[in-house]
Amino acid sequence: MTSALPRLQAAERRLTRRVAGWDALWARRTLSTVEGAARRTKLWWGVALLLAVTGGRRGRAAAVAGLTGMAVAEVLSNAVVKQLVARERPPAEWFRADEVRERPDSSSFPSGHTAAAVAFTAAVTEKWPAAGALCAGAAAALAVERVHSGAHYPSDVAAGAAIGLASRALPHAVPAALRRGGRLVPRAASVQWPGPGRLWPWPS
């Protein structure tokens, strides 16, 4: 395992530089547009509003589920994992100067943008598959953009996606726990759920 790690790191660095070198004008414009729309989760709030206004009961359910999943993913990725794992961003010289000028100074691991996008998309898909399929395209483009712009390595994006998927467990588990009188397992079991804790403010 120890000998394989340097090879994996070298392969990731090559993949990062290859994505960074993707210089087609249409690609740069598309990815830049997606990133701008998703900055501070504006894209997903906009989609949630559209679903709630035009989608009836199903749209409102999808909007609430998406925003809940996104909030959990934001906390897990930015307020928990980033504080535990320190990783430098990819070297700036690999990318266009205008791409890396405004990238964050926080840990590169994981990609909070990807975590939020995947969590929102997964939650919406559960309630409204057709709407979730449309969100998936934007989420995939955003994941590629995070590498293309120099903000993240591919493994940061993969970790963000995993956190986004994992975050779907909590919105399901907490209401179930409340319905069972504070238990996450059947009443015959002895393990107790301590109840929902305080949710600290979202990181900036």
- Quote the tokens at residue 110: 């994981």
Looking up tokens 């963000």, which residue turns up?
160
198 compared with 28, residue with greater pLDDT: 28
Which residue type does 136 have? A
Q: Using CA atoms, how far apart are residues 121 and 118, in angstroms rounded to an integer?
A: 5
Q: Are 118 and 158 contacting, i.e. CB atoms less than 8 angstroms apart?
A: no
Three-class DSSP category at 149: coil
Winning range, highest mean pLDDT, from 2-11, 87-96, 118-127: 118-127
Give dist(CA 173, CA 72) in Å, integer: 12
Backbone angles phi, psi at 102, to 5 degrees: -115, 20
pLDDT at 194 (0 to 100):
39
- Return d(Cα 21, Cα 2) in angstroms, integer: 30
Residues above pLDDT 70, as percent of the chain: 81
User: How far lies 178's CA from each of 3, 165, 183, 192, in Å?
Assistant: 48, 22, 7, 12
In sequence order, what are the residues at sequence separation of 6 or more whose Cβ sits closer than 8 angstroms to the Cβ of residue 202?
71, 74, 75, 78, 79
Task: Tell me the per-residue pLDDT of 127-185, one tens digit each, with 9 for 90 and over.
Answer: 999 999 999 999 999 999 999 989 999 999 999 999 999 987 765 665 565 566 555 44
Is the pLDDT reported for residue 100 higher than 50?
A: yes
DSSP assignment letter at 200: P
pTM of the entire structure?
A: 0.80
Q: What pLDDT score does 104 carry? A: 81
- If one compares 49 and 39, the residue with the highest pLDDT of the two is 49
The answer to whether 60 and 51 are in contact (CB under 8 A) is: yes
Place of tokens 């960074």: 20
* Virtual torsion, Cα 40, 77, 102, 92, nearest 10 deg: -150
Enter the tokens of residue 53.
């206004």
> What percent of the chain stands above pLDDT 90?
58
